[in-house]
Amino acid sequence: MKKIGIIIDKYHLKYKVSEFLKYLNSKADVKIYTEETFLLDSSKIEFDENLFFVKGKGDLILAFIKLIEDLTNIPVINSYRGTWLAINRFLNSVILRGAGIPIPDFSLNPKGSIPPFEDYIIKNIIDQKNWKFKPIVHKENGRLKVADERALNEVDKVDPKYNYLYYQKFIKSKWEFKIYGIGDEIYFYKQIPILINPNKIESRRKIDREPELEEYCYKAMEVMDLKLTSMDFLKSKEQFFLTDINCTPNFNYIKDGHKLVADFLLKQAKI
């Protein structure tokens, strides 16, 4: 029986993976490494797992992924590089745009400095904590300014603290497109944008394969070193824009998502 290590935090363990773990436990020998409780003695490092799966993005989880990659040849999904790039909005914006994937215009500005575009959304620089998006919307003279409460907290000296804000040009779109990548398989959904309907699942529906989004998804997974991801796209007129990329997607939103992910991990696990 294959051995799978799950690197996870308490939030995801409690709320996001119950069906997944039940199914995976019936197929493999599973060991849980929980960020908040696991202490590692560096003099007694022995891993016999065939594969590690990461469901979290805290500092200790990042350090643990790096340690496994440095000391073993055991595959980790997702990798340290993929996880770090996915949570760092500025870095992934630079890399994704460099790869030819359409990204909304973006900038880093000190608080109070105006970005070089009129309609914008402010997002947290490092998307690490398990907080929901809490928009603060301001309209003035026909211009739209949206701020994520998390980003404002960070620049107002609430940990973690940054001296800059990440500004992204706001893309007006009738639909938000949610794309899931599980290995070589891509799953396509759309929903009413969250600013219009905060209950994103209420309007979410599966859609037919969209070749352009599929191409962007595969390319993003390649350059970001992600084997498992979800991506958010908005569409302005005829142009798609990738607005967010996630290294810990909630696969429960996909039909039989827990099985799809578990079966993918089992196929990737080296004997």
Burial zone of 49 (CB within 10 Å; 0-12 exposed, 13-18 middle, 19+ buried): buried
Q: Is 106 left (phi over 0), alpha (psi -120 to 50) or beta?
A: beta
Distance CA 142, CA 157 (A): 31
Instruction: Give the domains, in start order, of the chain with CATH numbers.
Output: 3-78+256-268 (3.40.50.20), 88-102+172-246 (3.30.470.20), 106-169 (no CATH)
Contacts of residue 183, defined as CB under 8 A and 6 or more positions apart, other chains included, come to: 227, 228, 264, 267, 268
From first to last of the 271 residues of the chain, give the pLDDT tens digit. 999 999 999 999 999 999 999 999 999 999 999 998 865 665 567 899 999 999 999 999 999 999 999 999 999 999 999 999 999 999 999 999 999 999 999 999 988 888 999 999 999 899 988 777 888 999 888 889 999 988 888 887 767 777 889 999 999 999 999 999 999 999 999 999 988 888 888 999 999 999 999 999 999 999 999 999 999 999 998 899 999 999 999 999 999 999 999 999 999 997 7
Which of 225, 241, 271, 228 is closest to 48 using CA atoms?
271
For residue 138, how many other CB atoms are within 10 A of its CB? 9
The type of residue at 267 is K
pTM of the model as a whole = 0.94
Q: DSSP assignment of 52-110, as one string? A: EEEE---HHHHHHHHHHHHH----EES-HHHHHHHHBHHHHHHHHHHTT-----EEEEE
Distance CA 97, CA 105 (A): 10
